[in-house]
Structure 1
Amino acid sequence: MEINLKYFASVREAIGQPGERVALPDGVNTVGEVRAWLIQRGAPWAEALSEGRALRMACNQVMCTAETPVAAGAEVAFFPPVTGG
């Protein structure tokens, strides 16, 4: 299944691109599994998306959790928490 990935702010800077279209391997069916699969790709994804790093995730422009299912053609976005003041 193919999905679109979007990277924002410091995640985009670390990865070096605003997004990409990827074909997910079998067994990658949730946003959390997408993140884990990207981390396994190695640098720069491993650093930018590491489990210890605070990240927000969205699926089809709706904030979501790691358990959110991903369907073919979905847009999955990763970005740092937003603060204001």
Structure 2
Amino acid sequence: MCFRPAAVTLDKTCPKCGETNDPSAQVCSACGANLPITQAFPGAPGASGAPGVPGAFGTAGKPGAPAAPNSPAPPKTPDASD
């Protein structure tokens, strides 16, 4: 199943006054406060409106040497009691 957010907003919100600004703006158009820096693509850590990118896989290390295959068992001999 694929997850896709309903809407992606790339606008920046001012942390001081809450005004919505253009994604390329560095200063708020309403109050002049510095806006947070976001990543260049949606989904990157810090980008708003999109889920984050999964982290790197864990380090498993080198695999060990393969085990020797099992040798076949010798055939059973009939018991004298049968």
Which interval holds the TM-score relative to the shorter structure?
under 0.3
Structure ranking higher in helix proportion: 1
Higher strand share: 1
What TM-score do the two structures reach when normalised by structure 2? Answer: 0.22
Give the alignment's TM-score, normalised by structure 1.
0.22
Q: Who wins on radius of gyration, i.e. which is larger?
A: 2
